[in-house]
Chain A
Amino acid sequence: MTSALELRRGTYRDSVTLMQVSRAVGAAEGVDSAFIAMATELNLGLLAGMGFEVPDGAGPNDMVVAIRAADGEALRRAGQHLDEALAAAAAPAAAGGACPGPVPRTADAAPGATLALISVAGPYVFAEAMGALEAGLDVMVFSDNVPVAHEILLKDRARERGLMVMGPDCGTAVIGGAGLGFANAVRPGRVGIVAASGTGSQQLMCLLHAGGAGVSHCVGVGGRDLSEAVGARSTLQALELLDDDPATDLIVVVSKPPSPAVAQKVAQYAAGLSTPVLLALLGRGQDDLTLSAAKALAALGEDRPDEWPSWIPDRPRSARRGALRGLYCGGTLCDEAMVIAADTLGPIASNIPLEPGWSLPADLRADGHYMIDFGDDGLTAGRPHPMIDPGLRLERLAEVLADPATGAVLLDVVLGHGAHPDPAAGLAEVIRAAGPEAPPVVVSLCGTDQDSQGLDAQARTLVSARAEVHLSNASAARRAVSLTKDQPS
């Protein structure tokens, strides 16, 4: 075994690119491990953990390359892979040869830009967002870990300028037909969505699309907008914009469980608008997203489907004794499933628990029912979102399927822009590999027939592994519960 450690000063690449590069290099023959990352405190910790000596004076503008391989020849090959992967990542993927000169570093220098989409690390967001607002750009902040005080200040400055800050922690928006972040391809239509929840709004859009309706815009506001501190600053602004939008005939506000006082403020404000507003604010005792979608379709005068699309295998796996295990990518979908499951099953342990006493321990393991949100901050530090990189969840799925204590497994699969090109394939492979004795698997598949991954194709891949697939997350959750509840665990 031999290893190489190199510090490339002043060479910056974003973390997702470097993780992809690391994976490409790590996959090379004879390479034991490869870690290519910016020398942030976090990454230097990881480097030390791998047994490499942390190079002197390495800072967040420097790239660290650490490779361990079987022999010198493998190390040389790894170096080659590294150069190729870095070069490929640097190659401009967008057309636009008419823009010679240095690549702009700030949004105000980007030709004709109207919107800045910011996904840099949380502490750096304020400066980029502020610069964009000053240049008259609307802003979407995909990043999380932005201090709430920054969020409030940015939103206030934006409003002074007649601009909008979507986010922080805004995963989804559809503006003028353009899907920003994680967004499904839906037909244009009359429903305007205000989204304090990314996957929640994706679920709603997919159900509306399946019901024959369409979406005018989906304005993201960020996961914290309906908190006490932020006080629905962006939600009220988005309501106002959509009320004024001639294409929007109905507005739906989607949120994770909001602060009750803020929810009331939103309801009051919505009541004064000329466009009808439907509030889809999740929580125990509230409508689930599927019911909200049905109400929206009814309000539009569209026929609500008798049954939401589902795909059931010929020979479903049979129910068995054990606990319900939910493995989610979408936080709101996970929330919704837990609300539904808790009604019947009682406490559901989770890393995003509905009640403080229901927390999963740090190792995310428990004997009873539990659901894990793999998209939660705690699990995405230093790695891409599970909708992009399914690795961590796949490992856990294999483990859960092999666990005799598991009664049924509930998963979400989110399609659309930004998501993995073929998420069903990896899941199906793991489910199939678990063998005929494995517990039943229910999948909530969030997508449309216009998504590049193909809704039907993804469903069929999952069904071929004998998983049940539902377009409605609520239906999937109820089905998984029914497979569990008859089996005392």
Chain B
Amino acid sequence: MTLSSPADGRLLRRDPTVATAGVGLLADSLAAQAVPVTRLDWRPPTADSTDALNRVLADPRRAEANRTAVNRVLSSTAQLVNVRPAAEALGLKPGQFLHAGPPITWERASGPMRGALVGAMLFEGLADTPEEAEKRLAAGNAELEPCHHLGAVGPMAGIVSPSMWVFELEDTAHGTRAWCSLNEGLGKVLRYGAFGPEVIERLRWMSAVLGPLLGSAVRGHGPVDIRAIIAQMLQMGDEGHNRNRAGTLMLLRELTADIIESGAPSKDAADAFRFIGGNDHFFLNLVMPACKLALDAARGVPGSTMVVAMARNGTDFGIQVSGTGDRWFTGPAKVPDGLYLGSYGPADANPDIGDSAITETAGLGGFAMAAAPAIVRFVGGRVDDALDATRRMYGISLAENTAYAVPVLDYRGTPTGIDVTRVVRTGVLPQINTGIAGRVAGTGQVGAGLVTPPEECFTAALAALARKAPAFP
């Protein structure tokens, strides 16, 4: 008979501090004996997930696989090394477009996704009018591919076309790269589905002036440590998804001298400063690829239940999980709950859209809400709600981030690495902070707020993990 060594047996060596799940009476009885007790807010998982949950939880590979996945996320780096055209960086050919979220066809695409594609056709000179662009897109004359499939991420519609310039980031620990477009600002912008002349004109300026200017500045500066800026922005009221004000200013501070020394005309440099300084979200497009690098490092660990991507295309919400390869698990995207610009209201809102939920997947955005209590005011919340949002996310996360800390939570690391099993067990869905696009193509942004993924993404992922797990007795 071989048993564990008695030294391992802790049961009789520690005074019990009890957590109770189920009958309240049993907790009452402990409290009456002055035994420390926490009554868990337990609730049953959805009925049809119980077997899959048991099988995945019994998978002997899981714990180690998740440790591996978490370690990869935490050990990743994110250096901004270049800014260059998507044609060059991603090998995009004319007529090829990247988009946010899981795969989508023109037929199923929502208003803002269609609007952004129309704008990109106009910008690339593949159509002269929106009507023509729409016709060509409907006829299948464009090739659509998710950003995620090429190591890229794009906010909102996430359209990347060959002539757009992209940030290029490198994870030196894992030897990988990730890309993201340059942020256009708020309001009438392509990523929110607007395609008017001012949108196209701005895109042209970004490709002609801003992109080249930033490219030479970054190359002159040398690699910019984006993770270091993210760590600091969390101490300054940003959460890296809906608030990027401090991050944007820190990036600007980092690159100012190099922009000036790039030799560009001072008018161009001044325009670039005005543009970046006037766009609180400029740094979002650097947080996103930094998160993408961290999560890509954790892909493909057999048995791992960690979510490596959450992304929305305006129609479907999709997630990818480390242990199930590149497969998407999708469900209908929900309409965010939030505040609306001007006279817009919920009826004008498109369902959730964009790859920016990569920030939550990596432990930022909604998961770091406690660092940016201003965000909860979008939904009429109080500061406590922001703290609670982050605290709630610890319950579905595998780890606490070693680089990103929240001052008000006593510098506790942000909850990082969403665990599919915990989401299904607890019924707690990831908290996502997001912008809201108008549902009609061409509208642009109508608001900002909070949203969660549909539960079925997680139950479907769990079922797939269960099929890959050893048989359960």
CA of A283 to CA of B473, assembled, Å: 31
Could you tell me if A104 and B41 are in contact, using CB atoms closer than 8 angstroms?
yes
Interface check A434, CB cutoff 8 A: no
- CB-defined interface of A11-36 with B at 8 Å, one 1/0 digit per residue? 01011110000000000000000000
Give the residue among A109, A137, A388 with the most B Cβ atoms within 10 A: A109
Could you tell me if B6 and A105 are in contact, using CB atoms closer than 8 angstroms?
no
Closest to A179 in B: B33
**Contact A120 to B21, CB < 8 A, known contacts A93-B28, A109-B394, A269-B1:** yes
CA of A134 to CA of B56, assembled, Å: 13
Closest to B422 in A: A106
The A269-285 residues at the B interface (CB cut-off 8 A) are 269
Complex contacts, A381 vs chain B, CB 8 Å: none
CA of A219 to CA of B10, assembled, Å: 13
Could you tell me if B42 and A105 are in contact, using CB atoms closer than 8 angstroms?
yes
In the assembled complex, how far is the CB of residue B337 from the closest CB belonging to chain A, in whole angstroms?
A: 16
Could you tell me if B1 and A112 are in contact, using CB atoms closer than 8 angstroms?
no
**Contact A241 to B425, CB < 8 A, known contacts A60-B47, A104-B19, A104-B395:** no
- CB-defined interface of A437-458 with B at 8 Å, one 1/0 digit per residue? 0000000000000001000000
Complex contacts, A237 vs chain B, CB 8 Å: 3-4, 9
Could you tell me if A126 and B54 are in contact, using CB atoms closer than 8 angstroms?
yes
Complex contacts, B175 vs chain A, CB 8 Å: none
Residue among A61, A134, A149 making CB contact with B44, cutoff 8 Å: A61
Complex contacts, A236 vs chain B, CB 8 Å: 1, 3
Complex contacts, A181 vs chain B, CB 8 Å: 26
CA of A251 to CA of B135, assembled, Å: 84
Interface check A374, CB cutoff 8 A: no
Could you tell me if A240 and B3 are in contact, using CB atoms closer than 8 angstroms?
yes
Complex contacts, B260 vs chain A, CB 8 Å: none
Interface check A245, CB cutoff 8 A: yes
Interface check A483, CB cutoff 8 A: no
CA of A388 to CA of B29, assembled, Å: 12
Complex contacts, B36 vs chain A, CB 8 Å: 96, 112
The A144-165 residues at the B interface (CB cut-off 8 A) are 149-150, 152-153, 159-164
CA of A259 to CA of B32, assembled, Å: 38
Interface check B11, CB cutoff 8 A: yes
- CB-defined interface of A338-350 with B at 8 Å, one 1/0 digit per residue? 0000000000000
* Segment of B154-162, B232-240, B385-393 in the binding face: B385-393
**Contact A94 to B31, CB < 8 A, known contacts A107-B40, A120-B42, A127-B54:** yes
Could you tell me if B58 and A130 are in contact, using CB atoms closer than 8 angstroms?
yes
In the assembled complex, how far is the CB of residue B24 from the closest CB belonging to chain A, in whole angstroms?
A: 6
Interface check A121, CB cutoff 8 A: yes
Could you tell me if A16 and B24 are in contact, using CB atoms closer than 8 angstroms?
yes
Interface check B45, CB cutoff 8 A: yes
Could you tell me if A112 and B17 are in contact, using CB atoms closer than 8 angstroms?
yes
Complex contacts, A96 vs chain B, CB 8 Å: 36, 38
Could you tell me if A14 and B19 are in contact, using CB atoms closer than 8 angstroms?
no
Interface check B53, CB cutoff 8 A: yes
Interface check B426, CB cutoff 8 A: yes
Closest to B8 in A: A162
Complex contacts, B19 vs chain A, CB 8 Å: 104, 107, 110, 113, 115-117, 132, 137
Residue among B5, B16, B21 making CB contact with A118, cutoff 8 Å: B21
Complex contacts, A138 vs chain B, CB 8 Å: 10-11, 16
CA of A95 to CA of B54, assembled, Å: 34
Could you tell me if B9 and A164 are in contact, using CB atoms closer than 8 angstroms?
yes
Interface check A309, CB cutoff 8 A: no
Complex contacts, B11 vs chain A, CB 8 Å: 115, 138, 163-164, 175, 219, 241
Complex contacts, A126 vs chain B, CB 8 Å: 54, 57-58
The B314-334 residues at the A interface (CB cut-off 8 A) are none
Could you tell me if B40 and A103 are in contact, using CB atoms closer than 8 angstroms?
yes
Interface check A479, CB cutoff 8 A: no
CA of A296 to CA of B366, assembled, Å: 60
Residue among B5, B7, B16 making CB contact with A175, cutoff 8 Å: B16
Could you tell me if B473 and A152 are in contact, using CB atoms closer than 8 angstroms?
yes
Complex contacts, A384 vs chain B, CB 8 Å: 23, 25
Interface check B18, CB cutoff 8 A: yes
Could you tell me if B473 and A114 are in contact, using CB atoms closer than 8 angstroms?
no
**Contact A124 to B50, CB < 8 A, known contacts A16-B25, A93-B31:** yes
- CB-defined interface of B230-252 with A at 8 Å, one 1/0 digit per residue? 00000000000000000000000
Could you tell me if B40 and A180 are in contact, using CB atoms closer than 8 angstroms?
no
CA of A103 to CA of B20, assembled, Å: 12
Complex contacts, B426 vs chain A, CB 8 Å: 105-106
CA of A126 to CA of B7, assembled, Å: 26
Interface check A143, CB cutoff 8 A: yes
Interface check B14, CB cutoff 8 A: yes
Complex contacts, A121 vs chain B, CB 8 Å: 44
CA of A128 to CA of B425, assembled, Å: 8
**Contact A142 to B6, CB < 8 A, known contacts A117-B18, A121-B44:** no
Residue among A94, A124, A142, A245 making CB contact with B23, cutoff 8 Å: A142
Closest to A128 in B: B21
**Contact A104 to B38, CB < 8 A, known contacts A14-B22, A120-B21, A179-B33:** yes
Complex contacts, B45 vs chain A, CB 8 Å: 124, 127
Residue among A14, A117, A150, A162 making CB contact with B4, cutoff 8 Å: A162
The B287-344 residues at the A interface (CB cut-off 8 A) are none
In the assembled complex, how far is the CB of residue B445 from the closest CB belonging to chain A, in whole angstroms?
A: 31
Complex contacts, A128 vs chain B, CB 8 Å: 21, 42, 425
In the assembled complex, how far is the CB of residue B371 from the closest CB belonging to chain A, in whole angstroms?
A: 15
Closest to A452 in B: B32
Could you tell me if B39 and A142 are in contact, using CB atoms closer than 8 angstroms?
no
Interface check B109, CB cutoff 8 A: no
Complex contacts, A160 vs chain B, CB 8 Å: 4
Interface check B347, CB cutoff 8 A: no
Interface check B150, CB cutoff 8 A: no
CA of A120 to CA of B26, assembled, Å: 12
- CB-defined interface of B63-90 with A at 8 Å, one 1/0 digit per residue? 1000000000000000000000000000
Residue among A14, A132, A161, A217 making CB contact with B12, cutoff 8 Å: A217
Complex contacts, A114 vs chain B, CB 8 Å: 10, 14-18
In the assembled complex, how far is the CB of residue B9 from the closest CB belonging to chain A, in whole angstroms?
A: 5
Closest to A95 in B: B31
CA of A143 to CA of B22, assembled, Å: 9
Complex contacts, B4 vs chain A, CB 8 Å: 159-160, 162, 237
**Contact A240 to B44, CB < 8 A, known contacts A138-B11, A417-B32:** no
Give the residue among A16, A59, A101, A236 with the most B Cβ atoms within 10 A: A101
Complex contacts, A97 vs chain B, CB 8 Å: none
In the assembled complex, how far is the CB of residue B11 from the closest CB belonging to chain A, in whole angstroms?
A: 4
Interface check A123, CB cutoff 8 A: yes
Complex contacts, B394 vs chain A, CB 8 Å: 109
Could you tell me if A241 and B12 are in contact, using CB atoms closer than 8 angstroms?
yes
CA of A105 to CA of B8, assembled, Å: 27
Complex contacts, B5 vs chain A, CB 8 Å: 162
Interface check A418, CB cutoff 8 A: yes
Could you tell me if A142 and B10 are in contact, using CB atoms closer than 8 angstroms?
no
In the assembled complex, how far is the CB of residue B54 from the closest CB belonging to chain A, in whole angstroms?
A: 5
Interface check B37, CB cutoff 8 A: yes
Residues of A at under 8 Å CB distance from B?
12, 14-17, 59-61, 89, 92-96, 99, 101-107, 109-121, 123-124, 126-128, 130-132, 134, 136-138, 142-143, 149-150, 152-153, 159-164, 175-176, 178-181, 217, 219, 236-237, 240-245, 269, 384, 388, 417-418, 452
Top 5 A-B residue pairs of the complex, sorted by shortest distance between their CB atoms: A162-B8, A119-B22, A149-B473, A110-B19, A110-B38
Q: List 25 A-B contacts (CB under 8 A).
A: A16-B24, A59-B46, A89-B24, A94-B38, A96-B36, A110-B19, A114-B16, A117-B19, A117-B30, A120-B21, A120-B44, A121-B44, A130-B58, A142-B26, A159-B3, A162-B4, A164-B9, A164-B11, A176-B14, A178-B35, A180-B16, A236-B1, A241-B6, A241-B11, A241-B12
Besides the contacts A119-B22, A138-B10, what 12 more A-B pairs have beta carbons closer than 8 Å?
Answer: A105-B41, A109-B395, A110-B17, A113-B38, A114-B18, A115-B19, A117-B18, A127-B421, A236-B1, A240-B3, A384-B23, A384-B25
